[in-house]
Amino acid sequence: MTAKSQSRSAARLAAVQALYQMDMERTQLARLLDEFHQHRLGKKIEDEQYADAEVAFFDDLVKGVDARRDEIDVMVSDRLAQGWSLARLDKTMVQILRCGTYELLARPDVPKAAAITEYVDVAHAFFEPREAKFVNGLLDAIARDVRA
């Protein structure tokens, strides 16, 4: 894995964490970004070294998901099985799906397969393989819509 792809992977994971924090604690965007820049990205916290993340990419993911949340949520909700809603999904899962959808929508510089694989990997960090397959299937369906 190249240094650039490692820093982008770190940015994706951090973006999911930041959006989760924003959702749970209602942290304002500017304060949230500042906190991650100052204290998380590439820093050591309680003997755990956080990977260096591509800061501009992290910022784009967080700001982009925040700005386009309603549009993204409709796209994700439309792909859920009947009877399911975003509210029924695990809060971390929602952020993974939002970030992946945003990247497919707004980052044509990132190949479709790469974006999907990256968020499947993020899902593996938090969930069992079954949930990671769910991320793969849902993002693949969204990619067919937005990357025709």
With 0-12 / 13-18 / 19 or more C-beta atoms within 10 angstroms meaning exposed / middle / buried, residue 12 is buried
Q: Which residues of the chain have pLDDT under 50?
A: none
The pLDDT value given to residue 4:
67
DSSP for 107-134 reads: -TTS-HHHHHHHHHHHHHHHS-HHHHHH
Cα-Cα end-to-end distance for the chain:
28
The pLDDT value given to residue 45:
58
CA gap 57, 141 in Å, rounded = 24
- Single pTM value for the model: 0.91
Q: Which residues pair with 44 in a beta bridge?
A: 49
Domain hosting 134: range is 3-146
CA gap 56, 37 in Å, rounded = 10
Q: For 107-116, write each residue's pLDDT tens digit.
A: 999 999 999 9
Residue 127 maps to which CATH number?
A: 1.10.940.10
Count of domains for the chain: 1
